[in-house]
Amino acid sequence: MEVTMTVNGAKVSKDVEPRTLLVHFVRDQLGLTGTNIGCDTSSCGACTLHVNGESVKSCTMLAVQADGQDITTIEGMAKADGEMHPMQKAFQENHGLQCGYCTPGMVMAATSLLAENPHPTEQEVRHGLEGNLCRCTGYHNIVKAVLAAADGMAEV
């Protein structure tokens, strides 16, 4: 069946099987491979993207459920001229990534967290990122990056 949605600001229409998962849709049909597949069981958060501004694990949502919705993937975070989103900058500046596999999902979950709670405590950041696993165990700098982004984004 045909689905139409806004992905990173642009309208897309595609024919999908109802069983197509949103993560497969963005990766395989739209070529947006920044969204990773990790555990495929809504545990690890590698596939986190935004649906109407809220973080969602796209391995546990059907593309047909996203019909008509506003989707943002990691590719939609930087500005058109390539300037990174403040959260991406904060991850870079605070060494918030090692192998990088969890990073797109971390950035999407962290921006959703700050949208709901612009000034989280360190504990709130740690709890807010519970659904995103970093198997390099680089959590300390990830939390540091999110706190730095919260400070930086508040100034903007």
Residues that bind other proteins (CB under 8 A): 1, 17-21, 24, 40-43, 45, 48, 51, 54-57, 60-62, 64-65, 67, 109, 112-113, 116, 127-128, 130-132
**137 close to 104: Cβ distance less than 8 angstroms:** no
Q: Is 17 helix (H, G, I), strand (E, B) or coil?
A: coil
Nearest distance, CB of residue 57 and other proteins, angstroms: 5
Shorter beta-carbon distance to other proteins: residue 7 or 56: 56
* Complex with other proteins: residue 21 or 145, whichever CB lies closer: 21
Dihedral sign, Cα of residue 79, residue 85, residue 89, residue 91:
negative
| Calpha distance 14→65 (Å, rounded) | 13
Q: Minimal distance in Å, beta carbon 76 to other proteins? A: 17
Q: Shortest distance, CB of residue 69 to other proteins, whole angstroms?
A: 10
For other proteins, which is the closer residue by CB, 106 or 145?
106
Q: Which is nearer to other proteins, 116 or 151 (CB)?
A: 116
CA distances from 27 to 21, 35, 138 (A): 10, 7, 26
Cα distance between residue 23 and residue 60, in whole Å: 8
CB of 25 to other proteins, least distance (A): 11
Distance in Å, CB of 19 to other proteins, minimum: 5
Nearest to 49 by CA among 33, 64, 29: 33
> For residue 50, what are the β-bridge partners?
55, 72
Among residues 20 and 94, whose Cβ is nearest to other proteins? 20
